Amino acid sequence: MSSPVRSVLLSCLAWLAGLAPLSASAADADAVKRSKSERDVLIYSNIAAYNWGPIIEAFHAKYPWLKVEALDLGPAEAFERYYSEASVKRRTADIIAVAAPDTWMRFIDRDQVEPYVTPEAAALPEWSKPVKGVYTISADPVVLIYNKLLLKTKEQRPDSLDGLAAQVRKQPMLYAKRLTTYDATSHPFAYALHWAYVHQRGQKGWETLRTLGPQTRPEGGGATMVEKITAGEYVGAYFGSSVTFLRRMKEEGREQVLEWALMRDGTPVMVRGMAITRAASHKAAAQLFVDFALSREGQIAVGKGGLTPYRPDVPKSAVPFLTFDSVRDTVGEANVILVGYDRTMLQEQNQFLSQWKASYGLKR
């Protein structure tokens, strides 16, 4: 028996015995074969169809027999729908891809992650693969967004949250109840990014939020924010989703009205989790999708969809918007706030939200 054949045979035997993962080349060949009887992959996410478009198109070009259905749900809804369907053994998500670290940690605790090891893992930074089977599809920064017809000077449109707070103190009537951000009390994404910002900046972070909070009307969705800023109901937003904003600004001709900036004193970057689920019925197709989304080719497609690729081998020139490296280079590594899987986020949730609501003048 030749050495290569013997190597593959031993790898397969070890995999069947549960002693070692199947080698990347053998695993891929097996997944391709099995996927042809599965035919499709179902994804629950909080990613819009226009963001998914380039990713699904590129994946389908590589695996034309596979159909991808990606539902755009809220982060909490994606998990709750999965739990409900899996409990009665109905067809449910093969993959979940959402930006909500707290709900991901609860999902992990319920042992609902398929512990799949992708052959792309070695090319990915450690922070992007927090536990076995959970990966990062994109690392999306939140940004400052302004209506530049209302905030006409550069001074009124700072590139830091502290700078925005200084402007609010200087010109309170200009900003009075005309700022917006995500509502941390009703959105896991929003809670996580506000918590991460304060966790890194400490008391200074709370002081900034206490300045901005009384002049802010929180919203539940990024699309609503963009519409209301464009219309002039709000003069601007902070912690706005780059995923929602950048592509819509470019494709809908909003550049004449809107301007955006990364926050140089601390830019939260949402680590958008992705995993194959325990209850997945099409695991081979799901495996191929995860491998593709994490590959260099897949990450370029991620960038073309308006999400933020983070592989070091994806240059800014390959995508129309941002890369993780370009964000880091703009604000400095010390000012990148990774919104990751910190267990303290779960432990402090009630206390944090109580303090957050007080800062925003909301009922406890």
Question: What ranges do the domains of the chain cover?
Answer: 24-139+271-324, 140-270+334-359
pLDDT tier at 250, thresholds 50, 70, 90: confident
Higher pLDDT, 324 or 11: 324
Collapse the DSSP code of 162 into the 3-class scheme (helix H, G, I; strand E, B; otherwise coil) and give the result. helix
> CATH number of the domain at 140-270+334-359, please?
3.40.190.10
Q: How many CB atoms lie within 10 A of CB 163?
A: 19
Q: Give yes or no for residue 11 having a pLDDT over 80.
A: no
66, 284 contact by CB (below 8 A):
no
Is there a shared CATH topology between the 24-139+271-324 domain and the 140-270+334-359 domain? yes
- Dig out the tokens for 1 from the structure: 């028996």
Please identify, in words, the CATH class of the domain defined by 24-139+271-324. Answer: alpha beta
Q: Give yes or no for residue 37 having a pLDDT over 90.
A: yes
Q: Give yes or no for residue 121 having a pLDDT over 90.
A: yes
Q: Which residues sit opposite 273 in a β-bridge? A: 98, 136
Q: Given this model, what pLDDT does residue 364 score?
A: 59
What does the pLDDT average to over 79-99? 97
pLDDT tier at 353, thresholds 50, 70, 90: very high
19, 10 contact by CB (below 8 A):
no
Side-chain-side CA neighbours of 207 within 13 Å: the count stands at: 8
pTM over 0.75: yes
Q: Give yes or no for residue 2 having a pLDDT over 50.
A: no
Q: Give yes or no for residue 169 having a pLDDT over 60.
A: yes
Q: Given this model, what pLDDT does residue 18 score?
A: 39
Q: Give yes or no for residue 8 having a pLDDT over 60.
A: no
Q: Exposed, middle or buried by CB within 10 Å (0-12, 13-18, 19+), for 281?
A: middle
- Crossing angle for the helix pair 188-212 and 101-109, nearest 10 degrees? 140
Q: Pick from 104, 99, 93: which is nearest to 130 by CA?
A: 104
